Amino acid sequence: MTGGSVSSTSSASTPALRSQLSGSPRSSPAAPAAVEAIAVSRSFGPRRALDDVSLAVDGGRIEALLGPNGAGKTTLVRVLTGLVKPDAGAARVLGVDTWDCPRELRARMGLVPSGDRSLYLRISGLENLIFFGRLHGMSKSEAVARAWELLELVDLTDAARLRSGFYSHGMQKRLSIARALLTDPSVLLIDEATHDLDPEAAARMRELVRGLADKGAAVVWATQRIEEIRGFADGVTLLREGQAAFQGTVSQLIAVAAPRRYVLRLGNGRAAGHELEALLRAAVGGGTTIAAADDGDPDDFVLHLAEDTVLGSALAALAAGGIEILGCREEVSEIENAYLNLARGEE
Amino acid sequence: MTTLAGELRKLPAFVRRDFLVAWSYRLPFVTDWIGLAFQALMFYFVGLMVDPSKLPTFGGEPTTYLAFAAVGIAISAFMTLALGRVSVGIQQEQLAGTLESLLMTPTSPATVQLGAVVYDLIYIPIRTAVFLVVIALAFGIDFYASGLIPALVVLVVFIPFVWGLGVASAGATLTFRRGSGIVGIAMTVLVLFSGAYYPLDLLPNWIATLAELNPITIAVDGMREPLLGGTGWDGVGRAVTILLPLAAVSLALGAVAFRAALRRERRQGTLGLY
């Protein structure tokens, strides 16, 4: 477990809060992380949705909250927003307890909730943004100007006057992001922003959020799309049944569950037949096996490495035996492998 | 004070949002007015059967059944609509999934609650006034023009009373999800024993005595006196004196109940659920 630093600062008093809220997050080494969950637990009836989960995200970083359905991601996001009270522990944003969630703090937080029911579907995207802008205290002209600015940012200018109920899921998500950005928040909490988007729209969404993080926002990105976190998230918290099963970087996540199964495409594997396995056994030991893949292609074989065998040795042994290796790939992606192992509780 | 002013400045945004939503549903908007016209027509024909001498006098002047009932219809329709809308205003946000988004803005729960109904609180009194004017012109009812402003004052004082009840009911709806049945029963009982559609002396004595304390009775009589009896401001004082403290109590209880319900929902994490 390699969670980020966890601060033990208490709730800020009003002057301290104002000072914290007016400054940039983490302006000094002693300052708390922009987003903190400290030993948070929360139950709904007999079900424990979160169990002693801690998390710290600094400004400029994206923390992926990973986990299967029911792992506790949405509950953690809701605790971080102050919409749900933890049974134990505390959630702080910019050093302030979110359960007390003063208005100044809400202006510094942006939430993109899961689902697409958080917008007024009978009015246009433009009117949605103007309405929420005014609730953030903007004058009408400020709200209108900001709304157009954001619609352009999320590429919805052409659909600005269209009822948001007519928007596609991707467009509604982009509008939801635009709403979260109304006040240029220091903290963004994004819950399942891409789960029903096509790959292009999802990539666009990640690009947008990455840009915001690069400008200094702390981002919590809850997702179950494991493939999207590589090259995007700076840190990962993997939740399993309400507990943090892993915390660290994406590389560390991959490292804790290195893949052991590869699909090899062999030029003359059929000719070698059952001799393949003997060849391997002689070179790298008995634990490593190779067998025809069940994908229907006679040239594909699945190589299952023993714990003490590295891929290079196995491939070298095959090559030395005259086997022509045309291709080699993980049977499932390394990151997916790590996710599945951790989510199932295997390490 | 700055915070209060800031919160009040948000209300026009709610009005605009709800006007746009209402405008997007043009048919219910039109059918509401058609329904009201048919209701007035029905009371016109019922009025033809009623002997005006059986009706009470206002300012010593006799009246017709339609004139008598018109004020009752206006107030009871106002009460039904306003109470109904206030009590479900937050529920609708919950159902639409927008409540949490609203609460994520730096807006106080009281503003969110008021904002959910402010459009109706403006629209429904206008609808009531338009109804009275149209029915007077269509059926030749002689309302005293001098009574319009005093009657409007009674209506304005009656609004916070209804609003307070609606807010308390909204709190109950937030907690129990299906609270509209209780509101419906309470409204029916209040209207039934208010003298809105028939004189109170038709009721058994003890019920009639109790009904005199019914806030709807007080509002209806407070509007009938200036409109039908031409008593000007004379009949309004009593109504305002009784309705104002009732409105204050109703608003205070409503605010406490709603805040408690909202806090409970947040604590339980069920705010977004319906």
Rounded CA separation A219/A62 (Å):
5
Which range is least confidently modeled, A87-96, A129-138, B61-70?
B61-70
Please report the pLDDT score of residue A334 as a whole number. 61
Indicate yes or no: CB of B105 within 8 angstroms of CB of A106: yes
Rounded CA separation B158/B143 (Å):
20
Say yes or no: A278 contacts chain B, CB-CB below 8 A: no
Please report the pLDDT score of residue A35 as a whole number. 93
Our CA-based measurement puts residue A139 at a distance from the nearest CA of chain B, in whole angstroms, of 9
CB contacts of A131 in chain B (<8 Å) are 13-14, 16-17
Which of A84, A173, A182 would you mutate first to test chain B, the one with the most B CBs within 10 A? A84
Please report the pLDDT score of residue A188 as a whole number. 94
Instruction: Burial-class residue B9 by CB neighbours within 10 Å (0-12, 13-18, 19+).
Output: middle
Say yes or no: A274 contacts chain B, CB-CB below 8 A: no
Band of the pLDDT at A137, cuts 50, 70, 90?
very high
Sequence-distant (≥ 6) Cβ neighbours of residue B235 within 8 angstroms = B58, B59, B150, B221, B222, B224, B225, B226, B229
Say yes or no: A26 contacts chain B, CB-CB below 8 A: no
Indicate yes or no: CB of B17 within 8 angstroms of CB of A75: no
Residue A94, phi-psi category: left (phi > 0), alpha (psi -120 to 50), beta (remainder) = left
SS3 A308: coil
A339 or B8, which is more confident: B8
Say yes or no: B10 contacts chain A, CB-CB below 8 A: yes
Please report the pLDDT score of residue A11 as a whole number. 37
Question: Average pLDDT in the A204-217 region?
Answer: 89
Our CA-based measurement puts residue B194 at a distance from the nearest CA of chain A, in whole angstroms, of 38
pLDDT single digits (tens) B210-248: 888 888 899 988 888 888 888 878 878 888 889 999 989
* pTM for the model: 0.73
Q: Where do we find the tokens 């309400």?
A: A242
Say yes or no: A260 contacts chain B, CB-CB below 8 A: no
**Long-range CB pairs of A12-18, under 8 A, 24+ apart, other chains included:** A12/A95, A12/A96, A14/A102, A16/A95, A17/A95, A17/A96, A17/A102, A17/A104, A17/A105, A18/A104
Sequence-distant (≥ 6) Cβ neighbours of residue A325 within 8 angstroms = A264, A265, A266, A267, A315, A318, A319
CB contacts of A135 in chain B (<8 Å) are 10, 13, 102, 105-107
pLDDT single digits (tens) A11-66: 333 444 444 444 443 444 456 789 999 999 998 888 888 999 999 999 999 999 98
Q: Where do we find the tokens 């004070």?
A: B1
Please report the pLDDT score of residue A15 as a whole number. 45
User: What DSSP character marks residue A53?
Assistant: E
Say yes or no: B39 contacts chain A, CB-CB below 8 A: no
**Tokens read off for A42:** 């929360």
Distance from the Cα of residue A20 to its chain's centroid: 27
pLDDT single digits (tens) B83-100: 777 777 777 787 777 888
Question: Average pLDDT in the B107-125 region?
Answer: 83
Rounded CA separation A267/A325 (Å):
6
Rounded CA separation A46/A44 (Å):
6
Q: Which of B103, B104, B106 sits opposite A137 (nearest CB)?
A: B106
Q: Which of A106, A143, A163 sits opposite B104 (nearest CB)?
A: A106
Average pLDDT, chain A: 81
Given a contact cutoff of 8 angstroms between Cβ atoms, the answer to whether A262 and A302 are in contact is yes
Q: Where do we find the tokens 């025809």?
A: A292
Say yes or no: A81 contacts chain B, CB-CB below 8 A: yes
User: DSSP secondary structure string, A177-231?
Assistant: HHHHTTT--SEEEEESSSTTS-HHHHHHHHHHHHHHHHTT-EEEEEES-GGGSTT
- ipTM score: 0.73
Our CA-based measurement puts residue A103 at a distance from the nearest CA of chain B, in whole angstroms, of 4
Say yes or no: B108 contacts chain A, CB-CB below 8 A: yes
Indicate yes or no: CB of B98 within 8 angstroms of CB of A75: no
Selected residues 204-243 of chain A with any CB under 8 Å from a CB in chain B: none
